[in-house]
Every structure is written in C-alpha cells, then in structure tokens.
Amino acid sequence: MKRRAWMLAALLCAGCGGEDFGSHEADATAAQDSLNNPTNTGVELIEGLWHDNELVPGEGWHLYHFRPETSGWVSFQMQAPVDHPNLWSYLRIVDPEHNNEVWAGVANKRTNLCEVILHADAGHDYDVIVTSQENSLLINGETQKTDGPYTVAVLPVDVAFEAP
C-alpha cells in the first residue's frame, strides 16, 4: 500500500480535497477559510473524546490541535445538528510542518456529519479547523451567517487495504 503522510480519504463530503503546498511558506492554518478572525480554542483533542462548541458570527473558524500518541489511521469527525438551516459541517486538517492539508465538507445534509480519515504519525502535530462550508461572502459583501452548535472528535479507525 502506497501511503503518504497527508494522503486522506474524505467521506460523506460534497467537496473534498488535499493539497501539498510544496515550498509555500504561508501558515496554512491562517491562509484558508479566514473570513473573520480565526479562533484558536487551545483544545488538544484526544482520540475517542467528543468536544462540543458553537460557531459564533465574528469568531471565524475554530482551531483545535491533535498530537497522536501512536501512529495509525484516525477519523476526524464534525457533526452539526441535522436540521440546522445553514451550519453545514466542514473540516480542514492541516499538517503545518509539511504544509499539507485536506478538507471535506458535508454532502448529506440529513446527517450533517463530515469525516476525514488520515494516517497520523505519533508525536506529530495536526491542526484541526472546524467551520461551516456556508461561510462565503454574499453578493452584498456580507459574510453568510453560520452560527450554531457542533461537536468534533478524532476517532481511532481500524482499516485494512489490499493491493489490487
């Protein structure tokens, strides 16, 4: 199985992708989705534990941190209320050291669950950006309002790949 540290599988997402910034020196966490001011929550996520929070207009996206104790596949998940009118879950996982990132936005609004799976390296720091994909600028220049509660977690994943 060929594997790159930032190669991710994004599930349940309408749009998803990854990018190797190569020689770009920009801080990936600050360069993307930076409508309004980003908020560093200071929270260190631990595998299996769910953290609840709320997106508030004017706070921008929320930044979390994850440093796995062991190497392996993990699933980053964000869940927002399924009946929310405009808060659609969106995750961006950033590897600042290697300027790598991957993102996923929810596809199925009946679940409002967004998931990104990646192979994480023990002791390595990952930034976890949580926001709503409905945070674009409107025609009148205002930011679309996407406030509301959500929950986020990193979950262990048992996966097996077979070579074709």
Cβ distance to another protein smaller for residue 87 or 102: 87
- Contact string 28-67 vs another protein (x = CB under 8 A): -------------x-xxxxxxxxxxx----------x---
Cβ distance to another protein smaller for residue 18 or 94: 94
Other Cβ atoms closer than 10 A to 29: 19
* Cα three-residue angle 52-45-106, rounded to 5 degrees: 60
Q: Applying CB under 8 A, what is the total number of residues that bind another protein?
A: 23
Query: Which tokens is 122 given?
Result: 């023990």
Instruction: Report the amino acid identity of residue 59.
Output: E
The Cα–Cα gap between 35 and 44 comes to 23
* Piece of 22-30, 101-109, 139-147, 152-160 that binds another protein (CB under 8 A): 152-160
Give 73's contacts (C-beta < 8 A, 6+ positions apart): 117, 118, 119, 120, 156, 157, 158, 159
- Contact string 98-127 vs another protein (x = CB under 8 A): -------------x-x--------------
Q: Which parts of this chain interact with another protein (CB under 8 A)? A: 41, 43-53, 64, 79, 81, 111, 113, 149-151, 153, 155-156
